[in-house]
Structure 1
């Protein structure tokens, strides 16, 4: 479903898990996703680039999800304004 905004299946699954948890430690999220921590961190970094997740400034190693309505709305607006390269 979130492929329309450029997320692959792994990124979508991670974002949904993070939204459900609200916030999670890297190790906990990796366990929940059944992924190695290095892979989970790469996925989280991609979500961070998209504005869908951020590292907690209060707790290093903890990640928080951006509220879906705000983050996804901003991504959709951005995509509408990008030139089509067809």
Structure 2
């Protein structure tokens, strides 16, 4: 569904998980997505580039 804006399946899954949770730590999100933390971090960077996620100072 979000492929129309250039997201792949992992990026869409991460976006949906963040929307459902409201916020998540990297390790928690990686666990939810069943991905290594390094891969999850790359996915999050892509979402940030798209303006779909942002790091929290908290």
1:45-75, CA deviations, whole angstroms, 9 ceiling, x for partnerless residues?
0000000001102xxxxxxxxxxxxxxxxxx
| RMSD of aligned residue pairs (Cα, Å) | 0.4
Matched positions, count = 57
| Rg larger in structure | 1
**Bigger strand fraction:** 1
Unaligned residue ranges in structure 2 (runs of 5+): none
The runs of 4+ residues in structure 1 deviating greater than 2 Å are none
TM-score by length of 2: 0.96
TM-score by length of 1: 0.65
